[in-house]
Chain A
Amino acid sequence: MKLPKGISDLLHETGQLSAFVIRFFKEGFKPRYEWEELFKQAFINGYKSLPLVGITAFIMGLVLTVQSRPTLAEFGATSWLPAMIAISIVREIGPVITALICAGKIGSSIGAELGSMKVTEQIDAMEVSGTNPFKFLVVTRVLSIAFMLPILVILADLIAIYACYIGVNFKDVVSWKLFYNKVFNSLEYSDFIPALVKSFFFGLTIGLVGCFKGYNSQKGTEGVGHAANSAVVVASLIIFILDLIAVQITDLLGLN
Chain B
Amino acid sequence: MDNTNIILKIEGLCKAFGSNVVLNNFNLELVKGENIVVLGKSGSGKSVLIKCIVGLLKPDKGNIHVFGTNMLELNQESLDKIRTKIGFLFQNSALYDSMTVRENLEFPMRRHWISLTSTEVKDLVEESLDNVGLLHAINMMPSELSGGMRKRIGIARTLIMKPQLILYDEPTTGLDPITSREIVQLMLDLQKKYHTSSVIISHDMSVAKLTANKIIVLLDGRNYAEGTYDELKKSSDKNINQFFEFAS
Contact = CB atoms under 8 A, between A and B. Distances in A.
B111 interface: yes
Chain A interface, >50% SS class = helix
Contacts, number: 54
A255 B81 CA distance: 52
Interface of A: 32, 113, 116-117, 120-122, 124-132
Nearest to A129: B108
A125 B96 contact: yes
Contacts of A117: 96-97
B84 interface: yes
Contacts of A125: 88, 90, 94-96
Given A121-B90, A124-B90, A125-B90, A130 B112 contact: yes
B56 interface: yes
Contact of B94 (A121, A130, A131): A121
A238 to B, nearest CB: 27
| Residue of B51, B55, B86, B108 with most partner-chain A CB within 10 A | B108
B83 A129 contact: yes
B56 A130 contact: no
B161 interface: yes
Given A125-B88, A130-B84, 16 more contacts: A32-B111, A116-B97, A117-B97, A121-B94, A125-B95, A125-B96, A127-B83, A128-B54, A128-B56, A128-B86, A129-B84, A130-B83, A131-B80, A131-B107, A132-B76, A132-B80
Given A121-B90, A121-B94, A122-B96, A129 B107 contact: yes
Contacts of A131: 80, 107-108, 111
B107 to A, nearest CB: 7
A54 to B, nearest CB: 25
Nearest to A123: B94
A130 B54 CA distance: 10
Chain B interface, >50% SS class = loop
B92 A120 contact: yes
A77 B247 CA distance: 87
A116 B98 CA distance: 11
B173 interface: no
Contacts of B131: none
Interface in B92-115: 92, 94-98, 107-108, 111-112
Q: How large is the interface on B (under 10, 10 to 19, 20 to 34, 35 or more residues)?
A: 20 to 34
B114 to A, nearest CB: 10
B69 interface: no
The 9 closest A-B pairs by CB, nearest first: A125-B94, A130-B80, A129-B108, A121-B94, A130-B83, A128-B88, A130-B84, A121-B90, A128-B54
20 contacts: A116-B97, A120-B92, A120-B94, A120-B97, A121-B92, A122-B94, A122-B95, A124-B94, A125-B95, A126-B107, A128-B55, A128-B83, A129-B84, A130-B81, A130-B83, A130-B108, A130-B111, A131-B108, A131-B111, A132-B76
A127 B90 CA distance: 12
B91 interface: yes
B94 A129 contact: no
Contacts of A116: 97
Contacts of B112: 130
Contact of B56 (A120, A122, A124, A132): A124
Interface string B46-60: 000001001110000
Contacts of B90: 121, 124-125
A256 B84 CA distance: 56
Contacts of B111: 32, 129-131
Nearest to B111: A131
Contacts of B92: 120-121
Nearest to A121: B94
Nearest to B87: A128
A124 B96 CA distance: 11
Nearest to B54: A128
A132 B55 CA distance: 13
B80 A121 contact: no
B20 to A, nearest CB: 16
Nearest to B97: A122
A12 to B, nearest CB: 15
Contacts of B83: 127-130
Nearest to B84: A130
A127 B56 contact: yes
A116 B142 CA distance: 14
